[in-house]
Amino acid sequence: MKRTYTPLLGAGVLAFLLLGQTATADPMPITTIRVGWIGDTHFTDVYVMSQTMTDPKVKLEMNKFQLSQDELNAVAGNSLDMAAMGYIFFLKLLDKGVDVTAVSGVSERGTRLMVRKGVSVKDWSDFSHLKVGVARGSTQDLQFQSCLKEHGVDVKSVQTTAFTNAVDMTIGLQQGSVDAAVMWEPQASQALLNGVASEFEPVYPCAWSSNAMLVVRTEFLKQNRAAVTAILSSLSAAATKLSGDPDLWITEARKFAPLSAEIQGKAITNSGQSVVLHTKDLPKMAGIMFANSYLQHELKPEDFAAHIDLSPLEAATGKSNAELTGN
């Protein structure tokens, strides 16, 4: 008897094999990016960018740091692919020969010069008679020095006390071990609202308002340019979203810095979310840092230019280089 089932069996086997190939096909490749950040109010857009990420091929692995120096060490040790950090820490990485590229701004402002209750300061020259708390080599330290110089006050005439964090600065103000302190948010607003100290003049007119930027290991950028562009798109979206909705900013900031809504509300009035990278501020910062031996090398504008690439940010935002550098 003639057998008639063989072709049907063959077709079934072929269909099964094709189905198996489809089921075992390689999934869409995902690029995981290790991102470092600091849990201060002015870094909220970095925290929120995971929510605004639309590229399914990019996965963010967020790493929160308490101290900027620890984050700096992680970048230098290749434990991070990118990090949100103060402009000055970008300069420190270049000074150490770490090959990184600045690709975006992150935040602006975020500093308050606080004078403890019971102390009177009428003008900048009064600081030469006071004890001032600073975090050595921090953005706030450099802003304070810049303002002293702008107002004709000899920096060496001011007695400073070193602190590693803003919480200890607040305690120093409460206990009277310092008369003033240059602090960052949200602890500065907390000290203000708790009546520990009052704010002197804003430091931005005599220093700079730029605060933090996004830095990427250069080799990682070369190999994952599309992924970096996707992250910058999400960062820009987060910054725009928070800037337009103060209540949302307060809510999101309280998730990683659980202070009262009143404190965070005060802090955001002294903070800004922006991807603008103020390149013109770098020479002034580098000059103060080198003068204080915070840098071993005297960095020049051409040194910065070789490690700044805003083309991914231009692609992500549709804005020009002039717009993205604030020029």
CA distance 185 to 211: 11
The answer to whether the peptide bond before residue 205 is cis (omega within 30 degrees of 0) is no
pLDDT above 90 for 133:
yes
pLDDT above 70 for 5:
no
Residue 62: its H or E element: strand 58-65
Residues in the chain: 327
Q: State pTM to two decimals.
A: 0.88
SS3 state of residue 217: strand
pLDDT in tens, 227-256: 999 999 999 999 999 999 999 999 999 999
Q: Indicate the Cα dihedral angle 144, 215, 37, 98, nearest 10°.
A: -90
Cα of 141 vs its chain's centroid, Å: 17
Q: What does each C-alpha distance from 4 to 10, 11, 12, 13 come to in angstroms?
A: 11, 13, 14, 16
Say if CB 132 and CB 161 are below 8 A apart.
yes
CA distance 235 to 103: 11
CA distance 228 to 215: 11
- The reported pLDDT for the residue numbered 26 is 57
How, if at all, do strands 58-65 and 197-199 pair?
A: unpaired
Among 25-34, 162-171, 193-202, 207-216, the least confident range: 25-34
- The reported pLDDT for the residue numbered 22 is 47
Say if CB 121 and CB 180 are below 8 A apart.
yes
Which positions ≥6 away from 205 have C-beta within 8 Å? Answer: none
CA distance 276 to 325: 6
SS3 state of residue 289: helix
Say if CB 174 and CB 117 are below 8 A apart.
no
Find where tokens 């063959």 sit. Answer: 10
Residue 314: its H or E element: helix 311-317
Domains belonging to the chain, first-starting first, are 31-110+210-324 (3.40.190.10), 112-206 (3.40.190.10)
